[in-house]
């Protein structure tokens, strides 16, 4: 082993100094489908695609929103992109890299919440261009994203305004239809579930809004135009009274040439002379052969007419009359030239049961299908997450509780027309045959998940051994409190994946108070799956959110939490209070831009700059001092301290010290950090990122993250009672590689894992069962590591062989006289000095 390390050391040193050539990726070539399109050229006319279908990505439930994927062999489209859509597409193998167009029906977080992450992923795939269509605020929204994503180089994001002419490509022609509500909205537009009427703020809420925006001005936070947050609100560009519908008409598909029939008629099949004949009959022209006229109907199957489908959102009753009176839809109702095969309704039941809307639906005729996407659509979306949790639950039912799904208590209303309520992955095929296809919809079979786990080698035995060891171990001298209760909602890094969502941890301080540590995309959906029908109670208990830094995987779930929290307070009849948000001040411009262009959200927040909670920080603003006191009082904390950590600029960790004495420390994203060690001294629990496995220290430095052993060593130096590792690279989808430094004070976090301080002795005892459950994954990762180390050894040997001739030449050229040796030695000493 010593020899291996001695060989690897010089190679690794050179790699760090010269840059890692091993990991340098070649420049991204245009994607294969784009190269094919380039070869075809703009004049290529396919005559319409042969296969087209719509597929439900998200069925409209409160936890998932509504999103549609449209497929043809030439193009891929996405209608709406709420939080979690990217994760669902990744899990269900709907290729993100093929998206040409994203269509958005409304500038509301339920429609655009996943767009930040989706754009960053599209950029990483090498997609050169993506066109977004929808409301006019889209362009400003993309500019706002750059506040935390930086310049989006390498991808051309084009915005097609709703007033633009029709869009046409190889698959279809798309018309955008702007629809304005009869209502004039106040400061808050309807939530994702549009059955809720527009909110009117009380005077107390209005004052809290101005207090929160005034805080920005008092602290000198100004925007590029020179205005403060308070004055910038007046120049709002948002328009909640606007939605955009899309009428999509497929190109006609020419009939297929009947080769056998052509042979029967004596046509020159198999020769060059047949080409113009095929072209003529496919274009509907008759031909003459040996004095006989042959019609297209004799040689071709009937052409497939260009069917149409419509995607429309009707958030509330204020949009019904404008929709019913819109001439664009009337052209496709009754005796229409282009029959409408399907209308997709993103609308609450309060709209669907309105007589006016029903009459409008009926005017499309009996042959038109209607797909409903709203909160009454009960559908499991994240099947893999449910499967893993069901299997983990066999190991420890309390630490790994079973997931639930949030279902609306109200059943969908019955309608007198052919309607179908959405399910995840439900398909409607437009070509080659019009039909519903349910073969890909998800089936949730708990018994099947359990049986699969029980058949794994050594799994049952390891679980039994753990349970036996618990029974034999002595009872603890004192029973620890249920609180704090730590619920890991997202334990993966960078992008949401099917097993691990991105960063978020809920700390239940008591039965009625809780704090969120980071809030990545999809955090609300994770809460829904964890708490089910109790979600509104959990949101009402939320008193504060800590945002560690401005990377998208740590904060883009915040806005949905704010909006859904207001909905929960209203549903349970509780008074509204702004949520305390501890975050870098650089978060405010993003919130301000969204507030100005999309929805009013600043009244939801009382923001405390994270830098003001550092040890020794001077707080000059009375408003901030008041908010800090409120934070400590509301959360029953003696101390809420932050420190700068070694990641990106303005990245923070935090430590919470409760009045009862316990201390929890959260690292955020960081390399090993001395400031964190000092702040967290003698903590009961350290939650530390362990993005990468041991052996990838160079990559950890490049990406400013920690390896498993580095995270453990931080906890040991901190003298933490227990260390929970999280924020794993998505290459470790189910479980990370175990380090030799693992001991009885270290545990691995999983999504939906729930622990309290009394569980510390239990968590390490679960590792044998976890290794048995994920044995195949661990074996694959070990093989990958061994191959990587073998490559390094080969590189070290080659480097050593290259150096040997140089060393020999140096020895031969070395002067032999004593004087020369003396001069040479003196020269070396001078150089070192």
Helix spans in 150-202 (H): none
pLDDT tens for 688-707 read: 999 999 999 999 999 999 99
Q: Is 412 exposed, middle or buried (0-12, 13-18, 19+ CB in 10 A)?
A: middle
d(CA 499, CA 621): 44
Question: How far does the chain reach from its first CA to its final CA, in angstroms?
Answer: 35
CA–chain centroid gap for 8, Å, is 38
- Phi-psi domain of 203 (left: phi exceeds 0; alpha: psi -120 through 50; beta: other): alpha
pLDDT above 50 for 651:
yes
* Residue 574 resides in a domain: yes
Backbone angles phi and psi of 429, in degrees to 5: -90, 130
The pLDDT, as a whole number, for residue 301 is 81
* Residue 740 resides in a domain: yes
Bridge partner residues of 608 (DSSP): 582
| pLDDT mean over 663-670 | 98
Closest by CA to 129, choosing from 164, 102, 107, 149, is 102
Structure tokens at 90: 């990744």
Structure tokens at 463: 């679980």
Greatest distance between any 2 Cα atoms in the chain? 111
CA–chain centroid gap for 538, Å, is 22
pLDDT above 70 for 161:
yes
Between 767 and 812, residue with greater pLDDT:
767
Across 159-173, 258-272, 657-671, 793-807, least confident range: 793-807
pLDDT above 70 for 395:
yes
The pLDDT, as a whole number, for residue 665 is 99
The pLDDT, as a whole number, for residue 821 is 46
pLDDT above 90 for 112:
yes
Question: Sign of dihedral through CA atoms 428, 434, 439, 444?
Answer: positive
Between 197 and 27, residue with greater pLDDT:
27
- Residue by residue, DSSP assigns 239-272 as -TTEEEEEEEEEPPBPPPB-HHHHHHTT--TTST
Contacts for 464 with CB less than 8 Å, ≥ 6 apart: none
This model's pTM is above 0.75: yes
Q: pLDDT tier at 469 (50, 70, 90 boundaries)?
A: confident
Across 406-410, 468-472, 822-826, least confident range: 822-826
Number of domains, the chain: 2
* Residue 451 resides in a domain: no
**pLDDT > 90 fraction of the chain, expressed in percent and rounded:** 63
The pLDDT, as a whole number, for residue 282 is 77
Closest by CA to 339, choosing from 361, 307, 366, is 307
Between 499 and 474, residue with greater pLDDT:
499
> CA of 256: how far to CAs of 47, 160, 299, 490, in Å?
11, 35, 8, 51
* Residue 268 resides in a domain: yes
Report yes or no: 606 and 208 within 8 Å, Cβ to Cβ: yes
d(CA 47, CA 301): 14
Burial 426-457 (b: 16+ CB within 10 A, else e): bbbbbbeeeeeeeeeebeeeeeebeeebeeee
Between 240 and 283, residue with greater pLDDT:
240
- Residue by residue, DSSP assigns 292-359 as EEE-HHHHBPPPB---EEEEEE--SGGGHHHHHT-HHHHTTSSS-SS-EEEEEEE--HHHHTSHHHHH
Backbone angles phi and psi of 217, in degrees to 5: -70, -40
Q: What angle do CA 816, 817, 819 make, to 5 degrees?
A: 135
| pLDDT mean over 375-386 | 90
Across 354-363, 394-403, 512-521, 786-795, least confident range: 786-795
Between 356 and 286, residue with greater pLDDT:
356
Please state whether beta strands 485-490 and 504-510 pair in parallel, antiparallel, or not at all (unpaired): antiparallel
The pLDDT, as a whole number, for residue 187 is 42
H helix or E strand, kind and range, residue 803: helix 775-813
Residue 52: half-sphere exposure toward Cβ, Cα within 13 Å: 26
| pLDDT mean over 779-802 | 87
Q: pLDDT tier at 540 (50, 70, 90 boundaries)?
A: very high
* Residue 771 resides in a domain: yes
Residue 574 belongs to a domain with what CATH number? 3.60.15.10
Question: Sign of dihedral through CA atoms 140, 144, 150, 152?
Answer: negative
| pLDDT mean over 647-663 | 98
Closest by CA to 520, choosing from 539, 501, 544, 543, is 501
Q: pLDDT tier at 236 (50, 70, 90 boundaries)?
A: low
* Residue 30 resides in a domain: no
d(CA 563, CA 110): 10
Task: Report helix, strand and coil shares of the chain as percent, to nearest 5.
Answer: 40, 20, 40
| pLDDT mean over 578-582 | 98
| pLDDT mean over 547-573 | 97
Q: pLDDT tier at 800 (50, 70, 90 boundaries)?
A: confident
Q: What is the 3-state secondary structure (H, E, C) of 381-445?
A: CCHHHHHHHHHHHCCCCCCCCCCCCCCCCCCCCCCCCCEEECCCCCEEEEECCCEEECCCCCCCC
Question: Which residue has tokens 């209203």?
Answer: 570
The pLDDT, as a whole number, for residue 30 is 47
Between 313 and 800, residue with greater pLDDT:
313
| pLDDT mean over 532-558 | 97
**DSSP state, residue 764:** G
- Domain limits for position 542: 485-780
Across 149-153, 487-491, 604-608, 755-759, least confident range: 149-153
pLDDT above 80 for 832:
no
Q: In degrees to the nearest 10, what's the CA dihedral of 817, 819, 820, 821?
A: 90
| pLDDT mean over 813-819 | 58
Cα-trace Rg, the chain: 31
CA–chain centroid gap for 801, Å, is 48
pLDDT above 70 for 54:
yes
| pLDDT mean over 102-131 | 92
Across 247-251, 419-423, 799-803, least confident range: 799-803
pLDDT above 80 for 607:
yes
Across 145-159, 304-318, 404-418, 796-810, least confident range: 404-418
Q: pLDDT tier at 33 (50, 70, 90 boundaries)?
A: low
* Residue 462 resides in a domain: no
| pLDDT mean over 773-780 | 94
Closest by CA to 762, choosing from 397, 386, 387, 390, is 397
Contacts for 68 with CB less than 8 Å, ≥ 6 apart: 54, 55, 56, 57, 78, 79, 80, 311, 344, 373
CA–chain centroid gap for 644, Å, is 26
Q: pLDDT tier at 470 (50, 70, 90 boundaries)?
A: confident
Across 44-48, 76-80, 287-291, 653-657, least confident range: 44-48
d(CA 521, CA 92): 18
Count of C-beta atoms within a 10 Å radius of residue 325: 12
| pLDDT mean over 566-591 | 96
Q: Which of 220-229, 234-243, 278-287, 389-398 has the highest mean pLDDT?
A: 389-398
Across 183-192, 232-241, 337-346, 486-495, least confident range: 183-192
The pLDDT, as a whole number, for residue 788 is 87
Q: What angle do CA 8, 14, 17 make, to 5 degrees?
A: 140
* Residue 22 resides in a domain: no
> CA of 463: how far to CAs of 51, 456, 457, 466, 765, in Å?
49, 12, 12, 5, 10
d(CA 602, CA 208): 9
| pLDDT mean over 397-412 | 77
Across 8-22, 146-160, 438-452, 762-776, least confident range: 8-22
Structure tokens at 647: 């990641």
Backbone angles phi and psi of 736, in degrees to 5: -80, 165
The pLDDT, as a whole number, for residue 201 is 34
The pLDDT, as a whole number, for residue 189 is 45
């Amino acid at each position: 082993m010593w020899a291996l390390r001695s060989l690897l050391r010089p190679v690794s040193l050179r790699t760090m100094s010269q840059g890692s050539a091993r990991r340098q990726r070649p420049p991204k070539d245009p994607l294969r489908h784009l190269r094919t399109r380039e070869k075809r050229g703009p004049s290529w006319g396919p005559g319409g695609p042969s296969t087209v279908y719509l597929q439900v990505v998200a069925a409209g439930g409160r936890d998932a929103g509504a999103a549609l994927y449209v497929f043809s062999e030439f193009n891929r489209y996405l209608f709406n992109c709420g939080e979690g859509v990217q994760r669902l597409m990744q899990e269900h193998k709907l290729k993100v890299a093929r998206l040409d167009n994203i269509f958005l029906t409304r500038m509301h977080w339920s429609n655009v919440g996943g767009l930040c992450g989706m754009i960053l992923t599209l950029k990483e795939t090498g997609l050169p261009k993506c066109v977004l269509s929808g409301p006019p605020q889209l362009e400003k929204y993309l500019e706002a994203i750059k506040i935390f994503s930086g310049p989006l180089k390498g991808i051309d994001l084009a915005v097609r305004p709703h007033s633009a002419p029709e869009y046409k490509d190889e698959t279809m022609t798309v018309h955008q239809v702007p629809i304005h509500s009869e209502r004039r909205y106040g400061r808050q537009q309807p939530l994702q579930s549009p059955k809720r009427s527009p909110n009117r703020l009380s005077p107390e809420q209005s004052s809290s809004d101005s207090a929160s925006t005034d805080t920005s001005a008092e602290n000198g936070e100004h925007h590029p135009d020179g205005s403060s947050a308070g004055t910038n609100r007046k120049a709002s560009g948002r328009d909640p009274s606007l939605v955009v519908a899309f009428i999509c008409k497929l190109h006609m598909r020419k009939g297929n040439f009947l080769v056998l029939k052509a042979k029967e008629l004596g046509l020159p099949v198999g020769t060059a002379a047949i080409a113009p004949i095929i072209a003529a009959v496919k274009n509907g022209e008759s031909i003459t052969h040996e004095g006989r006229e042959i019609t297209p109907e004799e040689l071709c199957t009937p052409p497939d007419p260009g069917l149409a489908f419509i995607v429309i959102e009707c958030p509330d009753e204020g949009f019904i009359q404008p929709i019913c009176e819109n001439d664009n839809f009337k052209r496709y109702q009754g005796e229409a030239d282009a029959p409408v095969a399907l209308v997709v309704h993103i609308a609450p039941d309060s709209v669907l049961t309105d007589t006016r809307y029903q009459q409008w639906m009926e005017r499309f005729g009996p042959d038109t299908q209607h797909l409903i996407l709203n909160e009454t659509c009960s559908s499991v979306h994240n099947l893999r997450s449910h499967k893993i949790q069901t299997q983990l639950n066999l190991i420890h039912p309390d630490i790994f509780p079973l997931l639930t799904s949030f279902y609306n208590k109200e059943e969908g209303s019955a309608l007198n027309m052919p309607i179908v309520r959405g399910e995840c992955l439900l398909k409607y095929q437009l070509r080659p045959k019009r039909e519903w296809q349910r073969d890909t919809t998800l089936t949730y079979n708990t018994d099947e998940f359990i049986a699969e786990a029980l058949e794994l080698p050594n799994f049952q035995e390891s679980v039994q051994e753990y349970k036996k060891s618990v029974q034999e171990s002595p009872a603890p001298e004192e029973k620890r409190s249920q609180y704090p209760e730590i619920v890991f909602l997202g334990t993966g890094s960078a992008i949401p994946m099917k097993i691990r969502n991105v960063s978020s941890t809920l700390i239940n301080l008591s039965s009625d108070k809780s704090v969120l540590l980071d809030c990545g995309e999809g955090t609300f959906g994770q809460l829904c799956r964890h708490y089910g029908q109790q979600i509104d109670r959990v949101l009402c208990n939320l008193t504060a959110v800590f945002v560690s830094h401005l990377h998208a995987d740590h904060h883009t779930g915040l806005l949905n939490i704010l909006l859904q929290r207001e909905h929960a307070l209203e549903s349970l009849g509780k008074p509204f209070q702004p949520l305390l948000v501890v975050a870098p001040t650089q978060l405010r411009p993003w919130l301000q831009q969204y507030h100005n262009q999309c929805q009013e959200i600043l009244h939801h927040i009382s923001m405390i700059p994270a830098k003001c909670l550092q040890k020794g920080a001077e707080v000059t603003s009375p408003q901030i001092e008041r908010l800090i006191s409120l934070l400590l009082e509301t959360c029953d904390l003696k101390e809420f301290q932050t420190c700068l950590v070694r990641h990106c600029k303005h990245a923070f960790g935090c430590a919470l010290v409760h009045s009862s004495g316990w201390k929890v420390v959260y690292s955020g994203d960081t390399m090993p950090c001395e400031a964190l060690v000092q702040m967290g001294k003698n903590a009961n629990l350290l939650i530390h990122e362990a993005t990468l496995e041991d052996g990838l220290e160079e990559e950890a430095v490049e990406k400013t993250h920690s390896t498993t052993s580095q995270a453990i060593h931080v906890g040991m130096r901190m003298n933490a009672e227990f260390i929970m590792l999280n924020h794993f690279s998505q290459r470790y989808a189910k479980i990370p590689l175990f380090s030799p430094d693992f001991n009885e004070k270290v545990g691995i976090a999983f999504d939906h894992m729930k622990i309290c301080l009394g569980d510390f002795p239990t968590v390490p005892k679960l590792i044998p069962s976890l290794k048995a459950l994920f044995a195949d994954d661990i074996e694959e990762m070990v093989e990958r590591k061994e191959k990587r180390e073998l490559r390094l050894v080969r590189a070290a040997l080659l480097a050593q062989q290259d150096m040997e001739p140089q060393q020999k030449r140096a020895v031969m050229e070395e002067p032999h006289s004593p004087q020369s040796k003396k001069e040479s030695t003196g020269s070396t000493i001078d150089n070192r000095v």
